[in-house]
Structure 1
Amino acid sequence: MASHFQKIISCPDDGIVIPVPHGWLSLHRFSIGGRMTSYFSESPEDQMPDLFTPYTLKGCTLRNRIAVSPMCQYVAVDGVAGAWHDVHYASLARGGSGLVVVEATAVSPEGRITPGCLGLWNDAQADALRPIARAIRDAGAVPGIQIAHAGRKASANRPWEGDDHMAADDPRGWETISPSAIAFGANLPKVPRAMTGDDITRVRQDFVASAIRARDAGFGWLMLHFAHGYLGQSFLSPYANQRTDLYGGTLENRARFLLETLSEVRAVWPEDRPLSARLGVVEFDGHDEQTLEEAITLTRHFRTLGLDFLDVSIGFSTPEAKIPWGPAFMAPIAARVRRESSLPVATSWYISRPEQANTLIQDENLDLVMMGRPFLENPHWPYAAARALGRPDAAQVLPEPYAHWLARYRSE
């Protein structure tokens, strides 16, 4: 079996060792924003990267450019991962992706979207996540985790139970908080309590404490959730933030919570492990150019404070948004953010075809592709993509107990 994996790339920060299929490796380099990205291929050194070239950021190397996007499962009990999560994440990692990001994990009980959300505010939750990080590593992917606070979108029913705010008399519910006492509306009508200065300090400290637990649980990649109408996005968005103090009004003030949180997390997150954020850069509300320009300005500040990578997404701050759903519709926006901020980027949203994903990498629009639902449809999507793209020895993207069967006994 050793012949299948004759060369190795590693993530020295937490002992990750990633086997890479023989025949896909020889050093090449690609740089963005002053950060060196190494990838490997037996092709000539002037060849552009593609979907299956490894990617290095800080001290961490992914075996390819395919990342599993964080997708909430809503089946945790008291924030603790269970058997469902163990199998779910191991299966995703065994499918051949380079990075698997664990779902939005709340930094406090009030920060959960639903009662079934994962948490990382206590050691029992960290203990349950530790074997998940190990299983992802053992399958050859880098384990990532997204930490989050849902803000005014918290205290909701699970999607299959209504996807709306829990009733006021529901004993499972809790008080929500946000920069201002403004409800999201639509299916989430609950008016949140406007945060005090002490609340802001406490939530920042919750992010730091969760980052420390993620670090100690063995995660090699951290993502701060500053998108999708949750708390970070709410501070940035005038739809949710009408404060008149240092945390509202100008872009500098609206961005203050995000920048302070990033700075404090950066201080405790290891320098050789990537620190990333998911940021909503557009709302699709008719003010997209202004919102995007503000987001790019903020992203430059992120980079100065030590952010390593940005997952470009949608704001989801207003139910009135007119989102132009379609294949890879966020990719041109992500490419602009990449170009103007000098940060490496990924995006998701309707990237599902191998040729589409490969072209986004080859054309240097994205550094990674984030994929969610395609992995739920087919946890072995990377193998299907390798075959569709005509990769030699495509089966070797999978673990050897699978690869040898597919390599030896396919009829085509």
Structure 2
Amino acid sequence: MPSLFDPLTLRGVTARNRIWTSPMCQYSVLDESGVPGTWHLIHLGSFATGGSGIVFTEATAVDPEGRISPRDTGIWTDEQRDAWKPITAFIESQGAVPGIQLGHAGRKASSWPAWGFDGRTGSVPETEGGWRTVAPSPIAFDGLDVPDELDAAGIDTVVDDFRSAARRSTEAGFRVIELHAAHGYLLHQFLSPISNRRTDEYGGSLENRARLLLRVIAAVREEAPDAPLFVRFSASDWTEGGWDEDQTATVATWAQEAGADFFDISSGGIQAGIRIPLSPGYQVPFAHHVRSTSDVDVSAVGLITSPQQAAEIVESGQADAVMLARELLRDPHFPLRAAHELGVEIGYWPPQYLRARWR
């Protein structure tokens, strides 16, 4: 089995190790333009200097109505594309691979940011900068407005938006693209029977519910033929009658056949109020199930907080890599520390920091 610090190559793009920065919402585009700024450069750049193999952006919207909140980043305009260029250039200059997560929030869009609005929750009113949301079916997420059901033309527009976003992503310097089909956002909403009650070719059977995702994968692959393509799945809705790990494994196989290369396995997000039994590495068994059932490459995420735990996940064959989020917020240099604690010699300490290297 590979080790945590072995490189991994996909379509000619090599990550220097298997500790990767997971997408993390920041709600920091304060002018609500979707254009990333200095915060995003410093935030993402710190993970590159800290030794991550791949650094993923937050969920970046493929159109204005796809933002989770008005303060999310986007890549539906050339201005946004150009603002990402210095960020990807810095990440790559530090030896990390810049990756972008493309998303559309669907019925969970137009919600108040997690900070900065005195704890306000629910949908942002149109009078305060919000917008009408869309979904596979007119079923509201708890506490949010009822969305409009996407018609055939609307679905075609979603596919085209992902296609255009993929083109701008490669132009911006991103080497890896991830599609966000997890956490209750639009692509997940189509996959899950909880949120998809359609009776047309996009609803009902597993093949129909996966149709939009597979169309998006094909469109992105056509637009970015050389970029490794990841898909983030929620492997379980944690509720009876919802999306589960077996459906995830099946659709991962179809997704690979359609052009996807790697699968980022998380869980949850389709409903509010579900009690998820949290424990260290609680989502790792989902990643292992998908990997072993579908013979695809996967990463694991969720309460991975120590070098020893991360190494065990990879070296035992449960996953091919680990995605870290909150632990990297606490310690952006976790990969450098992990190498020291695991006794691994690495050659990518920033020279400006060498005086602090553990001996």
Deviation of the 1:398 alpha carbon: 1.9
Change (3 A) 1:80 1:316: same
Q: Where does residue 399 of structure 1 map in the other structure?
A: 350
Deviation of the 1:58 alpha carbon: 1.7
Which residue identity lines up with residue 180 of structure 1 in the other structure?
Answer: S
Deviation of the 1:199 alpha carbon: 0.6
Which residue identity lines up with residue 247 of structure 1 in the other structure?
Answer: Y
Q: Is the 8 A contact 1:92 1:379 kept in 2?
A: yes
2: CA distance, partners of 1:214 / 1:159: 26
Q: Where does residue 186 of structure 2 map in the other structure?
A: 231
Q: Where does residue 280 of structure 1 map in the other structure?
A: 234
Q: Where does residue 29 of structure 1 map in the other structure?
A: none
Deviation of the 1:167 alpha carbon: 4.4
Q: 1:380 aligns with which of 325, 333, 353?
A: 333
Which residue identity lines up with residue 129 of structure 2 in the other structure?
Answer: R
Q: Where does residue 134 of structure 2 map in the other structure?
A: 177
Q: 1:121-164, CA deviations, whole angstroms, 9 ceiling, x for partnerless residues?
A: 00000000011110100011000000000000000111123363
Deviation of the 1:316 alpha carbon: 1.3
Higher normalized strand content (fraction of residues): 1
Q: 1:247 aligns with which of 196, 202, 225?
A: 202
2: CA distance, partners of 1:167 / 1:216: 32
1: CA distance, partners of 2:180 / 2:89: 23
2: CA distance, partners of 1:351 / 1:236: 27
Change (3 A) 1:95 1:167: closer
Does residue 343 of the first structure (1) align with residue 343 of the second (2)? no
Which residue identity lines up with residue 134 of structure 2 in the other structure?
Answer: I
Q: Is the 8 A contact 1:243 1:249 kept in 2?
A: yes
Greater Cα radius of gyration, structure 1 or 2:
1
2: CA distance, partners of 1:167 / 1:114: 8
Which residue identity lines up with residue 268 of structure 1 in the other structure?
Answer: E
Q: Where does residue 27 of structure 1 map in the other structure?
A: none
Q: Is the 8 A contact 2:193 2:241 kept in 1?
A: no
Structure 2: gaps spanning 5 or more residues:
none
1: CA distance, partners of 2:249 / 2:273: 23
1: CA distance, partners of 2:52 / 2:66: 29
Change (3 A) 1:192 1:99: same
2: CA distance, partners of 1:163 / 1:112: 17
Q: Where does residue 125 of structure 1 map in the other structure?
A: 80
Does residue 200 of the first structure (1) align with residue 155 of the second (2)? yes
Matches within 5 A, 1:10-409: 48-76=1-29, 77=31, 78-160=33-115, 161=117, 162=119, 164-168=121-125, 170-185=127-142, 188-271=143-226, 273-287=227-241, 291-392=244-345, 396-403=347-354, 405-407=355-357
Deviation of the 1:284 alpha carbon: 1.2
Aligned length: 355
1: CA distance, partners of 2:282 / 2:348: 28
Change (3 A) 1:164 1:124: same
2: CA distance, partners of 1:166 / 1:384: 41
SS in 2 for 1:118: coil
Q: Is the 8 A contact 1:156 1:163 kept in 2?
A: no
Cα root mean square deviation, aligned? 1.5
TM, length-normalised to structure 1: 0.83
Q: Is the 8 A contact 2:194 2:241 kept in 1?
A: no
Structure 1: gaps spanning 5 or more residues:
1-47
Q: Is the 8 A contact 2:236 2:245 kept in 1?
A: yes
